[in-house]
């Protein structure tokens, strides 16, 4: 196949150099020793100590304190204190990100105390928007910065869990499964089929994977949300961008740091189920109400009931999980007059054993970051190598653990598998959840390299060139192995052993060239770049499946051990390339009037030649009212007030395939020819190409303001946005007689809109020994489908309980309304339509009453549905509270959502009340004595299925919750104590509680559910719930 955009074979070698450290170069950067003069030798060294405070008088921890012209240095402790040895006529350099550096002569003093003041120019090192570093005060785009220090107090394996509730406009939904990465959505779902996950830029490397990045390695995280900040990323910026910078070494004495914690995990709630005897009574009543004799295992009157076995399935299934995380780093650097270097080496180990038997996650990581500045040349590299082992959960275990009957044993030596699963006396269709984890083992092994390297050369103090190289390589090996034996009643009791294996490699290369112009002309400031980049991806995989494995003398799961001589094999490969031209510019006048513009032209091999290129751009304006003279005199307590607005468009080429514009051909089809019936191999087209598909385009309008008052102790930021995706891809079903035996072709007929408000309010008091602060974030969102294909005006969703259609949000629940419970035969007879027809003539008192939506007098599972509930929370919030006094520190973080609804599929299985599942002890079914209007009577078969319908509002619940997401208490040893150990810097111990409690009316395991795909939002199908954990940790710096 010809590729309109070339592959990047010539770029492979320079990209591979990303993973080579700059240590050999660093050695050259170290100043050569020189002969000391008699004057220098004569100068004695003295011990200097002191305290560094900010502009409010609060101690600044982590300030770099270095003797100028040497490698001698240290960092301030949590109170801002330091001690080091320096020549009595030397100079000490104090530097800290966000503050102006100071050179202070020692002049023979043994005590040097200083106050650092904020430096707006240094803020440009923190806020990176697109390819340009900007002063935070001059941002005219919608950008949020994560407080990494606070986020890292949450004991989680990835940034995705840590960011939840801390950044407005960012929705995070995920399960508690070991190693699971939650779904992150910025400002709503903007695509039907192309995914809505943001782009991650880690030290210049573009990636979709952050599972393997340890939160301990992160220095800063910035979330870009509007088109003004993301358009420069073109086709990858439509869903937002998260820019991550990892830690690097600093000048001064080399530093060794350790941070580790260990703890336990548990399920935060469980169900109170009936015992075996109580189940038998309810089951017998359900069968009696259906006019049937009871199951033998429930027949107390007939004498066939036995109470010898009474299994508490939750007790048998759940366990106390364990979590541990250890990180060790070694970093340092030096600073000369014309050269500087830095390095950081870190190693990490994370292990999580689940709250149920089986699932686990284990990650080994090694990071090497280094940098060199020599004159006009700057070099830096980042490399992360990880090895990950994951064991997955099998089946819908969190449903089966509730529906399994208490009279069934966990293990039963009379079955082929050795596990209990029921019989004719104890009829049940659930899978033994413990057997599912032990009979079937699903593992994943991953090795990943994420690396970047860049070189920057400054021609002048305002013009520079930068080359950025990125490489991501991923080796994976998935293995599913099943032992022999039945684990569910009704499954065939035959040899079911099998081995599935899937191996592959994926690589992504990135090369970017940029030319940067940054200069002030009096009161005018211009910062602009021009760039050219190329990207390429290639992936291939090989799979094999074999059956028939022997347990004697033991199972040996390799393909060659199969008794099946002809295993099924498969495989494939995929590749794409992209070429881009881009520009970005910032302009300010007097740091008061702000203009930002960006443009990107992307060419992608995923489209045919006529549609290959797309143009994307955005602009924003800002006005800092606080810089106006009339404003300064009228409101002197206002430190910063800024109005801003932006508009722009992004594209999306993350298609569900790399070759949609070409037809699919099966090259292994047999044909029979001639009178001799000769079988001849040939090929046939099985799919139709997606003709003329275009880029999805996401247009975003944004207005906002920022406010800082009272010496910036109070800050407020607010935004309102409207984001509209046009030309969204949909693939309505088409008849097979058109030659479509594969996926239906895609077409650009969809349109989606998201709009909402975002607020961030903060208060921080740092002027006294007792410091405290509070940060509140609020987010609202409204999602609506504006257009779909006429061939498919309704897209069915997960479990056939959601629909996506014009005028509704994506994946809204579409169900038969439950009106209550019939209380009498008279009520049943009087429930008629307009024509006088009895709507539910076969119902009995105690059965569920449904709404006849279409008025035809019949309850139809397709026609009698209404849209109900909301899959998206109307309000999301996060509240972080911090306090510190001397060596003690504390933080409490609450997070929650409100206004969304969840379809509880677990309860739909558990509360059928037909006698073939277990029962909740607090559920009181309708009886002649208990006329419930919410819970129907016990009846086997649900009275011909009337009471067991799934597609009804009976199973819809409020998904709102408030959760104590994280609480941490810490204590840092006084310097007088830690200094007793030579070389010891600071020691901090801490304890953390995660998901300590949850306030909710939801009756499932967890109201926070990831759903089932794009069209299954708000559907809880028994996913792994989020867990409660308690950990203890230690931080030590040498």
What confidence tens digit (pLDDT) does each residue in 31-75 have?
Answer: 444 444 433 444 578 889 999 988 767 788 878 888 887 767 888
Contacts of 84 (CB under 8 A, 6+ apart): 47, 48, 49, 65, 67, 72, 73, 74, 92
**Percent of the chain whose pLDDT exceeds 70:** 95
- Using an 8 Å Cβ cutoff, are 408 and 279 in contact? no
Owner of token pair 């089986």: 358
Q: What is the pLDDT of residue 62?
A: 78
Instruction: Compute the distance between CA of residue 727 and CA of residue 193 in angstroms, rounded to an integer.
Output: 12
Q: What is the pLDDT of residue 22?
A: 46
Instruction: Write out the two tokens for 423.
Output: 């019989």
- Using an 8 Å Cβ cutoff, are 248 and 203 in contact? no
Contacts of 468 (CB under 8 A, 6+ apart): 204, 452, 453, 454, 510, 511, 512, 513, 514
Give the Cα-Cα-Cα angle 414, 419, 425 (nearest 5 degrees): 65
- Using an 8 Å Cβ cutoff, are 711 and 237 in contact? no
Q: What is the pLDDT of residue 982?
A: 86
Instruction: Compute the distance between CA of residue 951 and CA of residue 867 in angstroms, rounded to an integer.
Output: 12
Give residue 123's pLDDT band: very low, low, confident or very high (50, 70, 90). very low
CA atoms within 13 A on the CB side of 724: 10
Instruction: Write out the two tokens for 865.
Output: 């549905």
The predicted model gives 168-183 an average pLDDT of: 90
Instruction: Write out the two tokens for 479.
Output: 């293995």
- Using an 8 Å Cβ cutoff, are 912 and 948 in contact? yes
Q: What is the pLDDT of residue 4?
A: 46
State how far the alpha carbon of 214 is from the alpha carbons of 148, 460, 628, 768, 994, in Å.
Answer: 12, 38, 44, 34, 18
Q: Is the pLDDT of residue 874 over 70?
A: yes
Q: What is the pLDDT of residue 251?
A: 83
Interval 373-408: pLDDT, tens: 999 999 999 999 999 999 999 999 999 999 999 999
Q: What is the pLDDT of residue 88?
A: 86
The average confidence (pLDDT) of the chain is 89
Instruction: Compute the distance between CA of residue 744 and CA of residue 660 in angstroms, rounded to an integer.
Output: 10
Burial category of 851 from C-beta neighbours within 10 Å (exposed 0-12, middle 13-18, buried 19 and up): middle
- Using an 8 Å Cβ cutoff, are 447 and 455 in contact? no
Owner of token pair 């990490």: 348
Contacts of 173 (CB under 8 A, 6+ apart): 182, 183, 185, 1008, 1009, 1010, 1011
Residue 776's H or E segment, with its range, is strand 770-779
Contacts of 665 (CB under 8 A, 6+ apart): 683, 684, 685, 686
CB atoms within 10 A of CB 757: 17
Interval 915-966: pLDDT, tens: 889 999 999 999 999 999 999 999 998 788 889 999 999 999 999 999 999 9
Q: Phi then psi for 69, rounded to 5 degrees?
A: 80, 10
Q: Phi then psi for 794, rounded to 5 degrees?
A: -130, 125
Longest CA span, the chain: 114
Q: Which residue has the higher pLDDT, 16 or 729?
A: 729
Q: Which residues pair with 679 in a beta bridge?
A: 672
Mind giving me the DSSP string for 981-1027? STT--EEEEEEEEES--EEE---SS-S----SSTT-TTEESSPPPPE
Instruction: Write out the two tokens for 643.
Output: 């109005």
Interval 788-812: pLDDT, tens: 998 889 999 999 999 999 999 999 9
Instruction: Write out the two tokens for 174.
Output: 């995920």
3-class DSSP assignment, residue 869: coil
Q: Which residues pair with 86 in a beta bridge?
A: 46
Contacts of 166 (CB under 8 A, 6+ apart): 146, 147, 150, 151, 775, 777, 878, 880, 893
Contacts of 672 (CB under 8 A, 6+ apart): 678, 679, 680
Residue 472's H or E segment, with its range, is strand 463-482
Owner of token pair 């502009």: 55
- Using an 8 Å Cβ cutoff, are 192 and 809 in contact? no
DSSP strand E in 306-376: where?
Answer: 321-335, 339-353, 360-374
- Using an 8 Å Cβ cutoff, are 889 and 769 in contact? no
Interval 535-546: pLDDT, tens: 999 999 999 999
How far is C-alpha 304 from the geometric centre of its chain's CA atoms?
52
- What number of helices (H) and strands (E) belong to the chain? 15, 51
404, 397, 400: which is closest to 276 by C-alpha?
Answer: 404
Instruction: Write out the two tokens for 1002.
Output: 């939801």
Q: What is the pLDDT of residue 56?
A: 67
Q: Which residues pair with 322 in a beta bridge?
A: 264, 353
Q: What is the pLDDT of residue 1026?
A: 94
Q: What is the pLDDT of residue 19?
A: 43
Q: What is the pLDDT of residue 119?
A: 56
Give residue 298's pLDDT band: very low, low, confident or very high (50, 70, 90). very high
Instruction: Compute the distance between CA of residue 721 and CA of residue 753 in angstroms, rounded to an integer.
Output: 10
Q: Is the pLDDT of residue 731 over 60?
A: yes
Radius of gyration of the chain (CA): 32
Q: Is the pLDDT of residue 90 over 70?
A: yes
Q: Which residues pair with 52 in a beta bridge?
A: 114
Instruction: Write out the two tokens for 929.
Output: 């004595």
What does the domain layout of the chain look like in residue ranges? 123-253
Instruction: Compute the distance between CA of residue 905 and CA of residue 911 in angstroms, rounded to an integer.
Output: 10
CA atoms within 13 A on the CB side of 612: 14
Interval 981-998: pLDDT, tens: 888 888 999 999 999 999
Contacts of 269 (CB under 8 A, 6+ apart): 998, 1005
Interval 312-338: pLDDT, tens: 999 999 999 999 999 999 999 988 777
Q: Which residue has the higher pLDDT, 181 or 364?
A: 364
Burial category of 928 from C-beta neighbours within 10 Å (exposed 0-12, middle 13-18, buried 19 and up): exposed
Give the Cα-Cα-Cα angle 740, 744, 749 (nearest 5 degrees): 140
Instruction: Compute the distance between CA of residue 993 and CA of residue 323 in angstroms, rounded to an integer.
Output: 12
CATH entry, 123-253, from 2.170.130.10, 3.30.230.10, 1.10.3720.10, 3.30.70.640: 2.170.130.10
Instruction: Compute the distance between CA of residue 34 and CA of residue 30 in angstroms, rounded to an integer.
Output: 12
The predicted model gives 651-664 an average pLDDT of: 85
Instruction: Compute the distance between CA of residue 372 and CA of residue 608 in angstroms, rounded to an integer.
Output: 43
The predicted model gives 567-592 an average pLDDT of: 94
């Amino acid at each position: 196949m010809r590729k309109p955009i070339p592959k990047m074979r010539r770029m492979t070698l320079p990209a591979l150099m990303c993973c080579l450290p700059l240590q050999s170069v660093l050695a050259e950067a170290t100043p050569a020793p020189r002969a000391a003069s008699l004057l220098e030798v004569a100068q004695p060294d003295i011990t200097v100590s002191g305290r560094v405070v900010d502009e409010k008088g609060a101690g600044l921890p982590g300030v770099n304190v270095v003797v100028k012209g040497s490698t001698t240095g240290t960092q301030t402790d949590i109170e801002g204190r330091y001690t080091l040895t320096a020549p009595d006529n030397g100079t000490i350099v104090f530097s800290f990100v966000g503050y102006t550096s100071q050179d202070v002569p020692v002049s023979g003093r043994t005590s040097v105390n200083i106050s650092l003041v904020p430096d707006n120019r240094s803020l440009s090192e923190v806020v990176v928007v697109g390819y340009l570093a900007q002063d935070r005060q001059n941002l005219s785009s919608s950008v949020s910065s994560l407080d990494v220090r606070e986020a890292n107090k949450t004991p989680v394996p990835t940034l995705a869990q840590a960011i939840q509730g801390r950044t407005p406009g960012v929705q995070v939904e995920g399960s508690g499964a070991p190693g699971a990465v939650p779904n992150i959505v910025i400002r709503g779902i903007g695509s039907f089929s192309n995914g809505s996950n943001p782009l991650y830029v880690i030290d210049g490397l573009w990636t979709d994977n952050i599972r393997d990045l340890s939160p301990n390695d992160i220095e800063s995280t910035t979330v870009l949300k509007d088109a003004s900040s993301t358009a420069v990323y073109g086709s990858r910026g439509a869903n937002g961008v998260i820019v991550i910078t990892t830690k690097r070494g600093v000048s001064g004495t080399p530093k060794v740091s350790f941070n580790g914690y260990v703890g336990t995990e548990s399920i935060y709630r469980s169900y109170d189920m009936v015992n075996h005897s109580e189940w038998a009574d309810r089951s017998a009543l359900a069968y009696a109400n259906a006019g049937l004799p009871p199951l033998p295992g429930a027949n107390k009157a007939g004498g066939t009931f036995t109470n010898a076995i009474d299994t508490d399935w939750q007790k048998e299934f759940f366990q106390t999980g364990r979590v541990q995380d250890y990180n060790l780093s070694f970093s340092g650097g030096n600073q000369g007059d014309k050269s500087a270097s830095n390095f950081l080496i870190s190693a990490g180990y994370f292990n999580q054993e689940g709250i149920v038997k089986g699932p686990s996650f284990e990650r080994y990581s090694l990071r090497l970051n280094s940098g060199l500045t020599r004159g006009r040349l700057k070099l830096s590299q980042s490399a992360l190598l990880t090895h990950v082992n994951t064991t997955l959960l099998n089946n819908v275990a969190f449903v089966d653990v509730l529906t399994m009957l208490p009279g069934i044993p966990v293990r039963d030596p009379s079955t082929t598998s050795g596990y209990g699963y029921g019989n004719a006396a104890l009829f049940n269709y659930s899978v033994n959840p413990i057997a599912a984890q032990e009979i079937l083992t699903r593992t994943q092994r991953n090795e990943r390299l994420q690396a970047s390297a860049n070189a920057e050369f400054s021609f002048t103090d305002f013009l520079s060139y930068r080359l950025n190289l990125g490489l991501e390589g991923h080796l994976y090996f998935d293995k599913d192995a099943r032992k022999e034996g039945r684990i569910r009643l009704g499954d065939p009791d035959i040899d079911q052993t099998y081995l599935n294996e899937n191996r592959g490699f994926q690589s992504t290369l990135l090369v970017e060239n940029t030319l940067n112009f940054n200069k002030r002309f009096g009161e005018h400031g211009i910062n602009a770049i021009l760039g050219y980049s190329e990207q390429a991806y290639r992936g291939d995989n090989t799979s094999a499946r074999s059956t028939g494995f022997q347990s004697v003398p033991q199972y040996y799961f390799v393909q060659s051990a199969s008794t099946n001589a002809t295993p099924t094999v498969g495989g494939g490969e995929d590749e794409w390339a992209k070429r881009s031209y881009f520009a970005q510019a910032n302009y300010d006048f007097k740091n008061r009037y702000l203009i930002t513009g960006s443009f990107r032209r992307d060419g992608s091999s995923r489209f045919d030649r006529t549609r290959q290129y797309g143009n994307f751009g955005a602009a924003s304006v800002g006005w800092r009212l606080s810089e106006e003279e009339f404003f300064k005199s009228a409101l002197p307590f206002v430190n910063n007030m800024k109005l801003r607005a932006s508009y722009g468009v992004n594209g999306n080429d993350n298609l569900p395939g790399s070759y949609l514009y070409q037809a699919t051909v099966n090259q292994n089809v047999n044909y029979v020819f001639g009178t001799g019936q000769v079988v001849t191999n040939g090929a046939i087209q099985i799919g139709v190409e997606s003709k003329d598909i275009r880029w999805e385009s996401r247009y975003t309008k944004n207005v906002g303001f920022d406010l800082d008052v009272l010496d910036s102790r109070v800050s407020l930021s607010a935004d309102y946005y409207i984001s509209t995706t046009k030309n969204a891809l949909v693939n309505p079903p088409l008849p097979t007689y058109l030659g479509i035996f594969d996926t239906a072709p895609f077409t650009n007929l969809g349109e989606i809109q998201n709009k909402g408000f975002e607020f961030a309010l903060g208060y921080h008091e740092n002027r006294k020994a007792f410091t405290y602060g509070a940060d509140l974030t609020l987010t609202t969102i409204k999602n609506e489908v504006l257009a779909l294909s006429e061939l498919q005006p309704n897209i069915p969703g997960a479990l056939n309980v959601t629909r996506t259609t014009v005028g509704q949000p994506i994946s809204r629940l579409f169900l038969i309304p439950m009106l209550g419970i019939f209380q009498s035969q008279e009520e049943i007879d009087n429930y008629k339509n307009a024509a006088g027809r009895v709507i539910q003539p076969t119902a009995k008192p105690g059965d569920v009453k449904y709404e006849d939506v279409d008025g035809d007098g019949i309850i139809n599972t397709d026609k009698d549905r209404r849209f109900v509930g909301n899959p998206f929370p109307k309000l999301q919030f996060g509240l972080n509270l911090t306090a510190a006094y001397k060596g003690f520190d504390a933080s409490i973080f609450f997070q929650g959502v409100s206004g969304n609804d969840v379809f509880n599929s677990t309860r739909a299985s558990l509360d059928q009340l037909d006698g073939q599942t277990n029962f909740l002890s607090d559920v009181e079914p309708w009886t002649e004595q208990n006329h419930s209007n919410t819970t129907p009577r016990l009846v086997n078969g649900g009275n011909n299925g009337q009471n067991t319908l799934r597609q009804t509002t009976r199973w819809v619940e409020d998904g709102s919750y408030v959760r104590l997401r994280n609480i941490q208490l810490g204590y840092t040893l006084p310097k007088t104590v830690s200094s007793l150990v030579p070389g010891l810097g600071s020691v901090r111990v801490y304890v953390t509680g995660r998901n300590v409690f949850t306030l909710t009316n939801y009756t499932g395991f967890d109201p926070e559910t990831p759903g089932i795909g794009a069209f299954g939002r708000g559907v809880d199908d028994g996913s792994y719930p989020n867990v409660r954990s308690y950990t203890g940790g230690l931080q030590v710096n040498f």
